Amino acid sequence: MKSVFDEVTGTPDREFELSSGEFNTTEGSVECVLHGARFDVRDGRALCAPAYTPVPKFPVKREHDAIWTRDDRD
């Protein structure tokens, strides 16, 4: 999770965490260390192969020194 343009966003990959991936501040993207795909951290869309579908986006808030998120999927 990163702060991009004053917006905090979380976008986890489907089967692997994106938090260990490289964050590109210019592009606002994170790269999956498992397969090399990049995702836009603001809306979850896939930016390059091998990913073609977006990853879920979750509500995130920063409160004091903590970052909170929740998975609202059913």
Domain spans of the chain, in order of start: 1-64
- Partners of 4 in the β-ladder: 7
Q: Which two tokens stand for residue 12?
A: 């986890």
0.85 cut: is pTM over it?
no
pLDDT of 15-74, one tens digit each? 678 888 999 999 999 999 888 999 998 899 999 988 888 888 888 889 999 988 888 877
What is the three-class DSSP state of 2?
strand
Q: Identify the H or E element spanning 7.
A: strand 7-9
Q: Give the CATH class of 1-64.
A: mainly beta
3-class secondary structure per residue, 45-65: CECCCCCCCCCCCECEEEECC
Q: How many helices (H) and strands (E) does the chain have?
A: 0, 7
